[in-house]
Amino acid sequence: MAPLLSHFHPSVPKQEGAWKPRFLREPEVETVTWLAERIIPETDTPGARRALVHQYVDFVLAEGEAGPRERFRAGLAWLDRRCGTLFGKPFARLEAGQQDEILRRLSSSPSGEEPAGVDFFGEVKRLSVDGYYRSEAGMTQELGFEGRTFLAEFKGCTHPEHHSWKVEE
Amino acid sequence: MADVIVVGSGASGGMAAYNLTQKGVKVLMLDAGEEFDRRYFWTHTLPYEADGRRRRGDAPPRFFLDTKEQPYLTPEGRPFDLARVWGRGGKTNVWGRVSLRMSDLDFTAAERDGWGIPWPIRYADVAAYYDRAEQLMGVCGGTDDSDVLPGSRFLMPPPAPRCGEVFMQKACDRLRIPMVAGRRANFTRPHRGFPPCHYCGACGDGCDTGSFFNSADHLIPQALATGKLEILSNAVVARILVDEHGRAAAVQYFDRKTGAERQVKGRVVVLGASAMDSTRILLNSKSPRFPNGLGNGSDQLGRNFCEQIMVHVRGFLPQLFGRGYTNDDGIGGEHVYVPRFNHRPDRPKPDYLRGFGIQFWNTGAQTTGADVAHSLPGFGASFKAAVKKRYPALVSLHPFGEVLSRPENRVTVDESRKDRYGVPLMKIDVRFGDNERKMRKHMYDTCEEILHTLGAEIVPFDREANDVPGSAIHEHSTCRMGKDPKTSVLNAFNQMHEVENLFVVDGSAFTSASEKNPTLTIVALSWRATDYLAEEMRAGRL
C-alpha cells in the first residue's frame, strides 16, 4: 500500500442489501474490519475487508456461545485501551503502520503484551483466517480453488518431475 | 409378530436386515430416526455458499445426534467424544469409508502377547464374508496384500495418488515403511445401479449420488424390495424384555416424536444400535433373572472398552511450494495407507503391544486454506503470501493405534440420571494407559521420520497430545465375543451366551480393536451371524 494512502480508510463495504450486525456494535464492526484487514490485507487480490470477513466474524459470534462472545467483546475493549495508551487513539483510528505495530507486539513470541491481549489476537486471527479462506475472494481469487465439483476422472499427480524425484542419499 | 427384530439401521443392522430378508425371514427394524433426504444434502455447497444459506436460515441435514437430546455422562476430567447418527443408515451416511480387512495378526493377538481374551474366530472364518462384503460395498484398493492386509481380489481400481502422496510413497520406500493403495468403499466403477464416484471430495456431507457404500442406499432398499422388511422410524429403543424362560421376548422403545412408550414382540432380537447404544440398552435391560443387565452373568458387559488412539502431524513439502492449485479432492480421504509394520522382523522390537497404521487425509489443496493458515505465525502481506505458497504443499499424517481393552474402561448406566424417556443414562469412563503412551511416541517418531526424509517443514506439535477418547468413532468390546462364557458375552456367531435368541452384531462384539477401521469387519460379521441365525431358525432351533 502506498504510504500516502496508508491512513485512508474507505468505509466498510455494504453488501447483501443493508447488512446489519447481530452481535457486534457499530464501532466494534469497524475495529474487527480493520483487524482482519491488517491480518490478511489487500494485495493483488482482495483482503479480508473486501471479503466481508467482519460479517463472517459477527455471524460466528452471534451463533456461538455467550462465553467466547463476551470474551471477544472484552478483547476489543482491551485493544482500544492499549492503543489509547500507546498511540492515543482507538485501533480503528490508527494509521496502518501503527495498527501493524500493535499486532506485531501481540503476535511476537514471546510477547511482552498482557495474556488477555495475546489471546485476543489469537482469536481474531483464527476467525479472520477462517472467514477469509472460506470466502469467495479467499478461496477462488487468492488460492484458485476449483474443487468440490464433478470430475469424470481423477488423474492424481501428473507431474513427471514429482514421479522422478529422488530422496537424497 | 416379526421373526426377527433388528435394532439399528446402520452397517450392522442394515446388513442383518439385508441378509435375513433375502432368506425370506420377516424383519421388523427399529430405527431411532428417519430417512435423510439426499436432495437436501449440501454435498457440493462451497463454504461461502453455505455461509450465505445459513444466514438465510437454511441448514443441511443434521446427521449427528445432539447430546442435549440424548446425553451421556463422563467422569470429571475424563472426556469422551461420542458421535452418533440416529436415522436411516446411521453413521454410514457420513463415514470415512476406509475398508481394511483384519488378519490373523489381529485375530490371534491375544494368544501371542497374552493381553485380553482370544477371538473365537480366525481369518479363515471371515474370509469368505470379507469377499462378499467387499463386492457388495464396492471397495476400491490395490493388489498389495500382506500379512497385515490380506485378500484384495475383489477390489475396484484405486484412484491415483495425489502429488503429496507420491512424495510420501518415496519417503516410505526409503525408510522401508510399507505403503499401499488406500482401501475405501468409494465406487471407482458404476456399481449396483449407482454411478461411480465423481471425485468431489465432500463425502463427509453425505453423497448426493449414493456413490459410496452406505446402508441407506445399498442395504435397506434391497431389503425393502423383498417385501419382508418393515421399518419403524423414530423408535428409540430402551430395553429388551425377557420372558419367564429368560429369552428375549419383546423390545421396549419410545417414540422420538411423541415420547410414547411401545413394545414389539419378536422371535429373535438382533442388536445393531452401535457399540455404546447397544451396550446401554443391554445394561438397562434388568430383570430378576438378569439383575446386572441382560446376558451379563459374566460381569463383562460394558467392560473392556477399546478403540484406536489417534494423533495428527502436519507438514509442508518444499517440493510443492508455490505450485498453485491442483484439484486434490479425489475420493475424499487419502489414496494411500501405511499398514502396520512394527511387527516386521527387520524392525526393532517395540516396547509396547499391538500396532498402528497411518492414514493421510487432507493432503494437498483439499480444504479452504484455513488449515494451512492456522499453522503459520504472523500476519499481513507476508503471512498471506506464505499461506498461498504452502497451500498445495500440505501433507497430513494420522496414525491410528490399537488401544488395549481393559476391564476398567467401561460403560455403565446411572440409575439416578434419566433421559427424556425416564431411562437411565449411560456413563462412559475411558482413559488411555502406558501402552498407548508408548505407542504414541512411536507414532510421532515415525511421522517425523517420514517428514524429515522429505525435508518438510513440520508444523509444531505437542508430543503429549492425542485425540480425546472416542474420537476415532470406533468403539469396541463392551459386549465382546469369546469362547468362554465366563469372560465374554457373545459366542463366535455374535449370539449371547446366556440368551440364545439375542444377537449383537455391531462393533461392541469385537474381542479386540486392532489398528484398523472396523466397518468392513462389522458388515462381514453381521452377515456371518445372520447366516447362522437364519439356519438356526430354519432348523427349528431358534
pLDDT of residue B55: 86
Q: Would B459 be classed as within a structural domain?
A: no
Q: Is residue B534 part of a domain?
A: yes
Residues of chain A contacting residue B55, judged by C-beta atoms under 8 Å apart? 16, 59
Looking at chain B from residue 434 to 493, which residues have their Cβ under 8 Å from any Cβ of chain A?
A: 453-454
At A65-111, the pLDDT tens digits run: 999 999 999 999 999 999 999 999 999 999 999 999 999 999 998 98
Type and span of the H or E element at A133: helix A115-133
Give the pLDDT of residue B1.
83
Classify residue B296: in a domain, yes or no. Answer: yes
Whether residues A154 and B46 touch (CB distance < 8 A) is answered with: no
Query: Comparing C-alpha atoms, which of B166, B205, B203 is closest to residue B186?
Result: B203
pLDDT at site A15: 55
Q: Is the pLDDT of residue A14 over 80?
A: no
Could you count the other beta carbons within 10 Å of the beta carbon of residue B60?
16
Region B318-341: what's the mean pLDDT?
Answer: 96
Task: Please give the pLDDT value at position A8.
Answer: 38
Within the 379-408 window of chain B, which residues sit less than 8 Å (CB to CB) from chain A? 379-381, 383-385, 387-388, 391
B395-446 pLDDT, tens digit per residue, is 999 999 999 999 999 999 999 999 999 999 999 999 999 999 999 999 999 9
Beta carbons within 10 angstroms of residue B415's beta carbon? 10
Q: Which residue of A lies nearest to B450 if distances are taken between CA atoms?
A: A167
**Residue B366 in contact with partner chain A when CB distance is under 8 A:** yes
CA-based diameter of chain B, in Å?
76
B59 touches A at CB < 8 Å: no
Which of A56, A134, A147 lies nearest to residue B201, judging by beta carbons? A147
The predicted structure's pLDDT at residue A168: 79
What is the rounded distance in angstroms from the CA atom of residue B99 to the CA atom of residue B357?
Answer: 13
ipTM of the complex: 0.91
Share of chain B above pLDDT 70, in %: 100
**pLDDT at res. A16:** 54
CATH of the domain at B243: 3.50.50.60
B366–chain A nearest CA distance, Å? 8
User: Average pLDDT of chain B?
Assistant: 97
State how far residue B88 is from chain A, nearest Cα, in angstroms. 25
Region for residue A105 given its phi and psi (left: phi exceeds 0; alpha: psi -120 to 50; beta: otherwise): alpha
- Provide mean pLDDT across the span B316-334: 96
Chain B environment of A142 (Cβ under 8 Å): 369, 384, 388
Q: Which residues of A touch B328 (CB under 8 A)?
A: 147
- Average pLDDT value for residue range B228-244: 98
Domain ranges of chain A: 11-163
Indicate yes or no: CB of A148 within 8 angstroms of CB of B44. Answer: yes
Does the beta carbon of B161 lie under 8 angstroms from any beta carbon of chain A?
yes
Residues 81-140 of A with CB under 8 A from B: 100, 103, 107, 109, 125-126, 129-130, 132-136, 138-139
- A144 Cβ under 8 Å from any chain B Cβ: yes
| Dist CA A126 CA B401 (whole Å) | 30
Overall domain count for chain B: 1
Whether A162 sits inside 8 A of B391 (CB atoms) is no
Chain position carrying cell 444400535: B273
Whether the CB of A150 is below 8 Å from some CB of chain B: the reply is: yes
Note the pLDDT tens digit of each residue in B335-375.
Answer: 999 999 999 999 999 999 999 999 999 999 988 899 999 99
Domain containing B87 equals: 1-39+83-140+212-307+475-542
CB atoms within 10 A of CB B80: 23
By the 8 A CB rule, do B5 and B86 touch?
no
Q: Is residue B191 part of a domain?
A: no
Asked if residues B277 and B411 have their Cβ atoms less than 8 Å apart, the reply is no
* Contact across the interface for B380 and A39, Cβ inside 8 Å: yes
- Measured between CA atoms, how close is B196 to chain A, in angstroms? 9
Q: Which burial class, exposed, middle or buried, applies to A33 when counting CB atoms under 10 A from its CB (0-12, 13-18, 19+)?
A: buried
How far apart CA B533 and CA B22 sit, in angstroms, is 13
Provide the pLDDT confidence category of residue A1 given band limits of 50, 70 and 90: very low
- Does residue A151 belong to the interface with chain B, where contact is any CB pair within 8 Å? yes
The pLDDT assigned to B120 comes to 98
Query: Which residues in chain B are contacts of A157 at CB distance < 8 A?
Result: 160-163, 165-166
Tell whether B289 is covered by a domain: yes
- Per-residue confidence at B182, pLDDT binned at 50, 70, 90? very high
Does A158 score more than 70 pLDDT?
A: yes
Nearest to B48 among A43, A103, A136 (CB): A136
Residues of chain B with Cβ-Cβ distance to A163 below 8 Å are 166
The answer to whether residue B115 sits within a structural domain is: yes
Which pairing describes strands B502-504 and B261-271: parallel, antiparallel, or unpaired? Answer: parallel
- Test the A interface: residue of B43, B48, B451 with most A CBs within 10 Å: B48
CB contact under 8 Å between A167 and B453, yes or no, is: yes
Q: Cβ distance B155 to B139 under 8 Å?
A: yes
Whole-angstrom Cα distance, residue B286 to residue B292? 6
> Residues A46-59: what's their mean pLDDT?
97
Residues on chain B touching A107 (C-beta within 8 angstroms): 377-379
Minimal Cβ distance to A162: which of B163, B327, B381: B163
Question: For residue B284, what is the enclosing H or E element?
Answer: helix B275-284
Q: What is the mean pLDDT of residues B77-89?
A: 98
**Exposure of A60 in the CB half-sphere (CA atoms within 13 A):** 19
> What are the backbone angles phi and psi of residue B397, rounded to the nearest 5°?
-120, 130
- What percent of chain B is modeled with pLDDT above 90? 98
Is B380 in Cβ contact with A151 (below 8 Å)? no
Which of B350, B299, B274, B321 lies closest to B509, judged by CA? B274
Single out the residue of B352, B305, B332 nearest to residue B470, CA to CA. B305
- In sequence order, what are the beta bridge partners of B477? none
Residue B509 has pLDDT above 80, yes or no: yes
Integer Cα distance of B13 and B522 in angstroms: 10
Q: What Å distances lie between residue B309 and A33, B360, B397, B398, B455, CA to CA?
A: 41, 15, 14, 10, 27
DSSP, collapsed to helix, strand or coil, labels residue B99 as: coil
3-state secondary structure at position A45:
coil
With contacts defined as CB-CB under 8 Å, which chain A residues touch B364?
Answer: none
pLDDT at A11 over 50: no
Cell of residue A40, nine digits: 490478511
Q: Is residue B411 part of a domain?
A: no
Contact call for A109 and B377, based on CB within 8 A = yes
Pinpoint the alpha helices (H) of B56-190.
104-107, 109-113, 123-137, 163-175
Counted across chains A and B, CB pairs separated by less than 8 A come out at 139
Cell of A84: 489509547
Give B395's strand partners.
Answer: B315
Burial of A111 by CB count in 10 Å (0-12 exposed, 13-18 middle, 19+ buried)? middle
> Count of CB atoms within 10 A of residue B55's CB?
16
What pLDDT score was predicted for residue A2? 36
* Burial group, residue A113, by CB count within 10 angstroms (0-12, 13-18, 19+): middle
Task: Name the closest residue on chain A to residue B331, using Cα atoms.
Answer: A154
Mean per-residue pLDDT for B156-175? 97
pLDDT at B445: 98
The three-state secondary structure class of B313 is strand
Q: What gap in Å lies between CA A69 and CA B273, rounded to an integer?
A: 37
Give CA–CA dist B228/B22, Å, rounded. 8
B367 CA: distance to closest CA in chain A (Å): 9
The reply to whether B125 falls in a domain is yes
- B115 falls in which pLDDT band (50, 70, 90)? very high
